[in-house]
């Protein structure tokens, strides 16, 4: 379980001595084991900052962040991050990119390669093991990023708008791929998105955040059965939650203008 209590984060004091930017303020929430939590909010509300704090990539100023009761003080083997910009090593082929995390953990080379090949096949890239990232489309590169994250067998997947830079067709295909993978693996997922459709389609719950400084406005249960197909997008329940999110997000934007 991920537990966040009283979390606040401010980015540095300015040169003239005035206070910096308060990105997050007094955030409280929990993510249950094997839950798929999507996070949405206005631009600049601190979603990525929150994810990076949970990942242990940046420190926080106040509060508590713990995983299974252990405070987060840095990156850990139970967490893996999938970024929007793919973050692949451009000089290395796909097989090497996927094995990287395993190798730095001291996994034997033969086991690294076997695991990587299985995951490359799982994400639909069998036959592309020797290609460089520049030889792949954006959607294919993001599949590599997902395979690399899964290779280390994390308990928790932290995903920062992983499909945000992709075209709509590729984005929808990868959403379906991710849902299928989640059904098989049942990882705990925290998924940042700007898309209301994506938030509702993927999540067990949606965490709605306020404008900066980011706070948790509401946790919204998604009343859709699993496994999910695209048919749920036509359902009244899907449309009702999506409209509820829009009305809240719109009201926040209007109040800010």
DSSP 72: P
Using an 8 Å Cβ cutoff, are 206 and 29 in contact? no
Q: What is the pLDDT of residue 150?
A: 87
Do the domain assignments include residue 211? Answer: yes
For residue 255, the model assigns a pLDDT of 63
How many distinct structural domains can be found in the chain? Answer: 1
Q: Which tokens sit at 226?
A: 């699993």
At 210, which CATH number?
A: 3.40.50.300
Residue at 167 is within a domain: yes
pLDDT digits 0-9 by tens, 203-225: 999 999 999 999 999 999 999 99
**To 5 degrees, how large is the angle CA 239–CA 243–CA 247?**
175
Full domain range(s) for residue 202: 2-78+154-256
Residue 87 included in any domain? no
- How many Å apart are CA 87 and CA 74, to the nearest integer? 19
Given a contact cutoff of 8 angstroms between Cβ atoms, the answer to whether 146 and 181 are in contact is yes
* Residues forming beta bridges with residue 187, ordered by sequence position: none
Judge whether residue 14 has pLDDT over 60.
no
Residue 37 is assigned to a structural domain of this protein:
yes
The answer to the question of residue 140 being in a domain is: no
Q: Give SS3 for 203.
A: coil
pTM of model > 0.85: yes
Confidence band for 185, pLDDT divided at 50, 70 and 90: confident
From the list 25, 75, 50, the residue with the least C-alpha distance to 190 is 50
The first and second tokens of residue 13, run together, are 């004091």
Residue at 115 is within a domain: no
Is residue 104 a part of any domain in this protein? no
CA–CA separation, 153 and 119 (whole Å): 11
Q: Is residue 89 part of a domain?
A: no
**Do 148 and 101 meet the contact criterion of CB atoms below 8 Å apart?**
yes
């Amino acid at each position: 379980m991920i537990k966040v209590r009283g979390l606040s984060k401010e980015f540095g004091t300015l040169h003239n001595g005035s206070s910096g930017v308060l990105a997050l303020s007094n955030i409280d929430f929990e993510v249950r084991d094997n839950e798929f939590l999507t996070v949405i909010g206005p631009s600049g509300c601190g979603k990525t900052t929150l994810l990076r704090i949970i990942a242990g990539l940046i420190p926080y100023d106040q509060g508590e962040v713990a995983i299974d009761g252990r405070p987060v003080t840095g990156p850990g083997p139970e967490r893996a991050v999938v970024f929007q910009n793919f973050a692949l090593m451009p000089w290395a082929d796909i097989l090497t990119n996927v094995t990287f995390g395993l190798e730095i953990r001291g996994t034997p080379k033969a086991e690294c390669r076997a695991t990587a090949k299985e995951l490359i096949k799982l994400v639909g890239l069998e036959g592309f093991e020797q290609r460089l990232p520049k030889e792949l489309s954006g959607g294919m590169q993001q599949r590599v990023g997902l395979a690399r994250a899964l290779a280390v067998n994390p308990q928790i997947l932290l995903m920062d708008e992983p499909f945000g830079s992709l075209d709509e067709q590729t984005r929808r295909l990868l959403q379906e791929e991710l849902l299928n993978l989640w059904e098989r693996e049942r990882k705990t997922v925290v998924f940042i998105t700007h898309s209301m459709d994506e938030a509702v389609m993927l999540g067990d719950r949606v965490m709605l955040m306020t404008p900066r400084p980011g706070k948790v406005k509401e946790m919204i249960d998604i009343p859709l059965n699993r496994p999910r197909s695209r048919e749920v997008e036509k359902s009244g329940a899907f449309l009702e939650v999506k409209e509820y999110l829009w009305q809240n997000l719109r009201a926040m934007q209007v109040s800010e203008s």
